[in-house]
Amino acid sequence: MSSELSRKDHYERTLEALIADSQQSSRKGECEKDWKVADEFRSTHNLAKGYVICFRRKAFAWTSQLPAAHMFSVGCFAFSSTGQAYETVDDTGNGQADVWSRLP
C-alpha cells in the first residue's frame, strides 16, 4: 500500500511540475511577444524612457513611472526603457492585480 501511495505522490508531483513548466513557458512566450509590441510602440512614438504597458499583444499605455498594479488587469506587462520587464499578478487571490512582479 505504501509503495502505491509513493508512486501516486511521485506521479502527482511530476504532473504538477510539468504543468508549472508549461505555464511558465507559455507566460515567457507571451512576454516575448508583448516585448516586441512594446519595442515597436516605443519606436513609433519616440519614447526614450519610461514604461510601455501591454496586454495580449497590444500596447495601450506609456508612463514615466511604474504605476500601481491595481490599475491594470492581471497579466499586463510593463517594459522599461532599461530592459526590465514586469507582470501584474494576483498576489492575494482576490482575482485582481495586486503587485508588479519583476520578470527575470
Tens digit of pLDDT for each residue in 21-79? 444 545 667 788 888 999 999 999 999 899 999 998 999 999 999 999 999 999 899 99
Are 36 and 50 in contact by the 8 Å Cβ rule? The answer is no
Domain count, the chain: 1
Longest dimension (CA), the chain: 66
What domain range includes position 79? Answer: 2-103
- Alpha-carbon distance of 45 to 59, in angstroms, equals 11
Query: Has residue 97 got a pLDDT over 50?
Result: yes
pLDDT the model gives residue 9:
59
Helices marked H in the chain: 2-44
